Amino acid sequence: MSKHIGIYPSIMCSKPWELKDYIKEFEKIGIDAIHFDVMDGHFVPNITLGTGDLEAIRSLTDLPLDLHFMTEEPEKIIPYFKMKENDLCSFHPETTRQPYRLLQHLQSKKIKAGLAISPGTSVEYIENCLEVLDFILVMAVNPGFAGQKMVPSHLSKLAKIKEITKKATHKIEIIVDGNTTVPNSILMLKAGADSFVVGTSSMMKQGPEKFEESYHQYLNEISK
């Protein structure tokens, strides 16, 4: 039996008028969760997706959501976003004074808790939080904008993170976000990735009408 590869389409990469069509495709295929980026214009030089966007998606689907907070002081912003059990939530550990406590809080709400690790962020955060981590969102690009190229050090860092997670007594999912093209994803899988956030560089560049075809083609190619 082949290994399950998680797929998290980034809703930031859709046009507003495409939202319903994309969600229909996501439900038909059975994607793992919808990736939802929250940016505050301070931690990253961009502003995206707020509480109204979350409510709009909630009104259309019961699929799990994967919220990625690219914000300063995420502990103050996360409570505004109404998450459900089994949703995923990640934040950048350098943006809060108490990353361990915030992970504990998320798990107490039965939300899957994760750290988002940027190219320049130390992996020591992971080592110090292993027992309260459900997943790690490893950024292959600098956070803030879609369409960037993978940073040169990403694969070696990904392999290092994989080795660290082996020390945990439970499975910690490794999700890669950024430039997850077919050639890159093949290398990322070999380096330790379990799952991928996909967007304009892979499945979502041809619109919702081509998503199912792109989805199957992508998985077939990277699973060879």
Query: Is 177 marked active-site?
Result: yes
Catalytic residue among 32, 53, 177, 194: 177
Q: What is the pLDDT of residues 78-95, one digit of tens each?
A: 999 999 999 999 999 999
Whether 73 maps to a domain, the answer reads yes
Within-domain flag for 115:
yes
Q: What is the CATH classification number for the domain harbouring 162?
A: 3.20.20.70
What is the model's pLDDT at position 1? 40
The residue behind tokens 């008028």 is: 17
69 has a pLDDT exceeding 70: yes
Residue 224 has pLDDT above 90, yes or no: no
* Residue 53 annotated in active site: no
* Termini Cα distance of the chain: 13
pLDDT, residue 144, reads 61
Q: Give percent of the chain with pLDDT exceeding 70.
A: 97
Per-residue pLDDT reduced to its tens digit, 7-34: 999 999 898 899 999 999 999 999 999 9
Residue 77: count of CB within 10 angstroms of its CB: 17
The answer to whether residue 1 sits within a structural domain is: no
Supply the pTM of this predicted model. 0.95
Band of residue 142 on the pLDDT scale cut at 50, 70, 90:
confident
Domain hosting residue 134, numbered range: 6-222
Residue pair 71/42 in contact (Cβ under 8 Å)? The answer is yes
The total number of structural domains that make up the chain: 1
Q: Which of 37, 66, 87, 194 is catalytic?
A: 37
- Contact between 9 and 52 under an 8 Å Cβ cutoff? The reply is no
Exposed/middle/buried for 172, CB within 10 Å: 0-12, 13-18, 19+?
buried
Model confidence at 176: pLDDT above 70: yes
